[in-house]
Amino acid sequence: MPLNEFDIAVVGAGHAGCEAALAAARLGMKTALFTISLDAVANMPCNPSIGGTAKGHLVREIDALGGEMGKAADATFLQSRMLNRGKGPAVHSLRVQSDRVKYHLYMKNAVEHTEGLFLKQDEITDILTDKNGRICGVRSKLGSEYSARAVIIAGGTYLKGKIFVGSVSYKSGPDHTLPADYLSDSLEKLGVTLRRFKTGTPCRVHRRSIDLSKLEVQYGDEKITPFSFENDKPLENKVCCYMGYTNEETHKVIKENIGRSAMYSGQIEGVGPRYCPSIEDKIKRFSDKPRHQLFLEPMGLDTEEFYVQGMSTSLPEDVQLAFMRTIKGLENVEIMRNAYAIEYDCCDPTQLLPTLEFKNIPGLYGAGQFNGTSGYEEAAAQGLIAGINAALKLLGRPPLILDRASSYIGTLIDDLVTKGCQDPYRMMTSRSEYRLLLRQDNADLRLTEIGHDVGLISDGRYQRLLKKKALIERETARLKQTNIPPNEKLNELLISRGTEPISTGIKLSQLIKRPQLDYASLAPFDPDRPDLPDEVCEQAELNVKYEGYIAIQLEQVEAMRKLENKKLSADTDYSQIKGLRLEAAEKLNKIKPLNIGQASRISGVNPADINVLLIRLAQTKSEENS
């Protein structure tokens, strides 16, 4: 007899697990959220920070779909910055420094206060199946069984977690929690292919041991953009961050001791993230660089701990101390938590459908680092989608699959399930081919409706969105219609901004299109300008300024969607299709793409193979017609 009965069981209460459980419960599913430690719910074992390039986009999309991460980040941040301000709206990225403990408490509270959601400290060791092989529940280390019609694995770095510091290694979860040593075997028995990835984290140091006067200060933004589109409270920065540099002496210490690094001594078999290398990796790979940047970031308001961004390492503790002390400002540094590398089991995400359900194990879902990604935001995004889809399936509703043109979340999941990943996957703006459409500033316009349809966005919020949309459209149209006659003051402004003065009347939109000008500076010449919220003005301005580019991108989307509409059957045996190269047939059989568009993105499937598929599709169609 099971100890308790659930619709959905979520294994792991990190950033993926929390979003998955919240979404499932909010959609009316009786949901269990299991964690090895209640004190590690939504923990940030690495950087106490949310957002960053492309990751900030993910958080805003999570918010627009009805997830929790954006709200949690807004409620607990210490400093907020919009990165890439000078590089264009597509790559503007919001990043906050978070209070690690407060974030954990916020999320734990949110989970605790959600109806139908049961947070439980217990290590899950087995996934249970019924006599037909269907997923039917989970079993804990204490032998307790819980029934569930769907199970979401969000095990993070806990699965057979192993920490490495120099030559020392031991079984452990992140931040010295207990590892989950048994679940992997149960998953493998079900047919999940696992592999080893690794990641690392730098040391934490004591504030009093840092000479902050020797470091560059980094202030937060004066005007803060919140993550959540629902947030209209005033926000303020509470701390500064600091920036320093390594030097030749630092590099010398590291090079002399590189043989003592767990990564270089060959103890670690897991594959590390290419995009977030350890300091010894950076020095080896970019040996011509005389210095590397590092950031000192407070871990919270109630602690003296500082995080040292950019210095993750698996060197022994004495070497860590030695090289840290070569850095200007850190001459007397005192390490409170040492840096370490951690190795863990994760799945090959090409086993997953775009719903994040395992293709061959109906009812079992994967999310977060378990799917081969790195980063809290990537994890949360997958958690949300897995939670939604597990619930929708049990409710008998159609699944939620976001395509690449809809969101970074869609792009992330498409990349994972179509291309897989060879090392921990990090989201980047360059991964999206529709960057100018998928901006962080319009995530609500893109996704709120979907969130509302799913059932995670309230009617009130959706109505507000519709109102905003209408205002944007009206203002955009007004900018295109309003004619501005030439006048002396205006021409003075134009000349001072280094752009051509006007001699005849001109549409306001034509002026805004000029890179030297913007919406705000033209206010004095636009007497009929209505009083609108900032975010409405921003959207209208971007619509006008980037009109040509947006049109190009929309064409690209249309072309892409045409290919996405050419459906492929999951029953197709590609090895039986003549003309396909062997490699392509194998890859196609493994991925079982839903459509030609997805097939064309599989690495190892080249255009010639796609043409074979197209020709075959056309043949099948003409046979059906005749």
Partner 1 sequence: MQAICAVSTPLSEGALSVIRISGADALTIAEKIFRRADGGKVCDMAGYTCAYGNVVGSEGIIDDAVLTVFRAPRSYTGENTAEISCHGGVYVTKKILRLCCENGARPAQRGEFTKLAFLNGKMSLTQAEAVMDVITAQDELSLRSADRIKQGELFTRTENLRQRLIKLLGALAAWADYPEDDIPELSGEQLCETLTESVETVRRLLKNYDNGMLLKKGIPTAIAGKPNVGKSTLMNLLLGYQRAIVTDIAGTTRDVIEESVQLGSVTLRLSDTAGLRGGADRIESIGIELAKKRIADSALVIAVFDGSQPPDEEDIKLAEQLKASGQRVIFLINKVDISKEDNAHLYSELCRNDARINSGIDARINAGNDARINASIDAIEISAKTGAGRERLVQRIEEMFGAAGDDDSLLFINERQKDCLDRAEKRLTAALDALSGGMTIDAVTIDLTQAAEALSELIGESVTESVIEEVFSNFCVGK
Taking the C-alpha atoms of residue 451 and residue 474, their distance in angstroms, rounded to an integer, is: 24
Chosen residue from 31, 76, 80, 93 binding partner 1 by CB under 8 A: 93
Binding of partner 1 at residue 97 (CB under 8 A)?
no
Residue number with CB closer to partner 1 (464 or 581): 581
Binding of partner 1 at residue 288 (CB under 8 A)?
no
Q: Which of 71, 24, 54, 68 is nearest to 380 (CA)?
A: 68
Number of residues that bind partner 1 (CB under 8 A): 38
Chosen residue from 485, 486, 530, 579 binding partner 1 by CB under 8 A: 579
Taking the C-alpha atoms of residue 124 and residue 159, their distance in angstroms, rounded to an integer, is: 11
Residue number with CB closer to partner 1 (117 or 612): 612
Binding of partner 1 at residue 521 (CB under 8 A)?
no
β-sheet bridge partners, residue 30: none
Binding of partner 1 at residue 307 (CB under 8 A)?
no
Binding of partner 1 at residue 87 (CB under 8 A)?
yes
Chosen residue from 20, 91, 327, 353 binding partner 1 by CB under 8 A: 91
Residue number with CB closer to partner 1 (113 or 578): 578
**Position 611: which residue type?**
N
CB of 578 to partner 1, least distance (A): 5
CB of 265 to partner 1, least distance (A): 27
Taking the C-alpha atoms of residue 459 and residue 462, their distance in angstroms, rounded to an integer, is: 5
First to last CA, the chain: 58
Residues 176 and 338 sit within 8 Å (Cβ to Cβ): no
CB of 432 to partner 1, least distance (A): 10
Chosen residue from 246, 373, 382, 429 binding partner 1 by CB under 8 A: 429
Going residue by residue from 33 to 72, which x/- string records binding to partner 1, judged by CB under 8 A? --------------------xx------------------
Taking the C-alpha atoms of residue 129 and residue 382, their distance in angstroms, rounded to an integer, is: 24
Going residue by residue from 237 to 276, which x/- string records binding to partner 1, judged by CB under 8 A? ----------------------------------------
SS3 485: coil
Binding of partner 1 at residue 212 (CB under 8 A)?
no
Binding of partner 1 at residue 352 (CB under 8 A)?
no
Q: Which of 518, 535, 515 is nearest to 526 (CA)?
A: 518
Going residue by residue from 548 to 567, which x/- string records binding to partner 1, judged by CB under 8 A? -x--xx--x--x--------
| CB-count exposure of residue 303 (10 Å: 0-12, 13-18, 19+) | middle
Binding of partner 1 at residue 90 (CB under 8 A)?
yes
SS3 128: strand
Q: CB-based contacts of 49: which residues, under 8 Å, 6+ apart?
A: 95, 96, 97, 98, 297, 309
Q: Which residues of 586-612 are buried (b: 16+ CB within 10 A; e: fewer)?
A: ebbebbbbbebbbbbbbeebeeebbeb
Judged by the rule CB under 8 A, the positions of this chain that interact with partner 1 are 53-54, 83-84, 86-91, 93, 293, 295, 309, 428-430, 433, 435-436, 514-516, 546, 549, 552-553, 556, 559, 578-579, 581, 607-608, 611-612, 614-615
